Amino acid sequence: MNPSANGWIKKLLSEVSETTYSQIAITEFYSKLKLTGFIYGSNIKVVLDIVKRFDFTEEERCKINLLLTYYFIYKKEQTEEDFTDNLIRYYKAISDKKQSIFEELFGDKSSDSLLEKMIHKRIHIDDNFITKSFNYFLINALLFVDVLGYQRFLKDENNIRSYVNQLESALETIVFSVIDAKSKKTEYDHNLIKLFEGSIRHKNSVLPSYKDAVSFVKRPLEKLYVIDLVCMASWTDKVIDEEERKFLNRLKTDLSLCDADIAKSVDDINVFYEEHKDEVAFLSSKNLAQSFYDNSSKVVSKLIKRNSKRLIKELSESKEAMALLAQSTQRNLSDEEQKKIQSQLLDIFKSIPSLAIFMLPGGMLLLPLFVKFIPKLLPSAFDDNRIEDD
């Protein structure tokens, strides 16, 4: 199952165990989802390990987690309508007809294909391929707002877009009040602000007051989500200071929660960050250039690995490209040789749909990385000088 290729939703749903879904409570599922990092905007793994282990990108794990969470909510409500059609209706209902990011997709005749495109667009902060490579924050951190909206939609479709917008605004008021109250903001705080600002769907000039924001949060999952986001906003080097603790206690009272709920949320964010500190983008202090290189390298490496068989076949039919790639393992290619190999690679990419991304505007920027990585990721026979690790 490849979430970057057509047909992944139907394939994924065929692998879901109905027994597992029916036996787990909603709050337990939420806790399992939090362990994946989805609630924190960092998808480290797939919820419930439903999908067999595969070398997914974070973007792909995010797609899987979002779809599985929607499907779980759908199953709990035992809705008669087909899941895919129902979820598409929900996305149409919450979209702004005048500025919908899905407007150009609604002409798609296939429900599965349409939903795949909708989810692809929804999970990204910025859908521009090159911009994403420069960005720490690829994935929307507030996707669970959409899930809460879907839960409401299955019970009551009336005013659903207003509900989603109001919930997002309430979260914005509560979370930013925590960050703004900090006397000294760390790099983590500034990164978190960028992440949340990039994830907010509707930019409101006037936000609700704290009192109005809290009064809007009523359902159990809404309350758990708010507390988790507040703990995420409060966290700085595993320390929640006295003022932040007071805010949490105030929130606990206002939301009618207990001490155990707050303690669990604090423990969960501490454990998650400690276990995955090297994998969470906004805990990193890498500069822009390093971020671009790392993100681009991951994209290129993944594409080569997934298309290695087809690449070997196509490259074997181009003796000049093979010769130049082999020489690139021993010396730096000249500018003329670089241009020649890039031209030949572009011809090859035309025959491999997954690699057509390099032909998009800006894709040429990644071709030097492709030339660098391909000898290392293709079979050792491709590189006569390679010394295999034991």
Of 122-136, 322-336, 347-361, which gets the smallest average pLDDT?
122-136
- Decide if pLDDT at 108 tops 60: no
Q: What does residue 124 show for φ and ψ, rounded to 5 degrees?
A: -90, 140
Q: What SS3 class is residue 139? A: strand
pLDDT at 93: 93
Q: Which residue has the higher pLDDT, 236 or 152?
A: 152
CA pseudo-torsion sign 219, 118, 161, 193: positive
**What average pLDDT does the structure give for the chain?**
80
pLDDT at 97: 62
| DSSP character string of 32-78 | HHHHHTGGGT---S-GGG-SPP----HHHHHHHHHHHHHHHHHHHHT
CA distance 299 to 196: 24
The CA–CA distances, whole Å, from 73 to 22, 221, 368 equal 11, 12, 44
For the chain, give the percent of residues with pLDDT over 90.
33
- Decide if pLDDT at 134 tops 50: no
pLDDT bracket for residue 150 (50, 70, 90): very high
pLDDT bracket for residue 129 (50, 70, 90): very low
pLDDT bracket for residue 372 (50, 70, 90): confident
pLDDT at 27: 92
pLDDT at 146: 94
pLDDT at 384: 45
Q: What digits encode the pLDDT tens for the residues 241-297? A: 777 888 888 999 999 999 999 999 999 999 999 898 877 766 765 444 455 555 566
pLDDT at 73: 95
pLDDT bracket for residue 319 (50, 70, 90): confident
Q: What digits encode the pLDDT tens for the residues 51-89? A: 776 678 888 899 999 999 999 999 988 788 999 999 999
Which range, 128-142, 182-196, 244-258, 302-316, is most confident? 244-258
- Decide if pLDDT at 105 tops 60: no
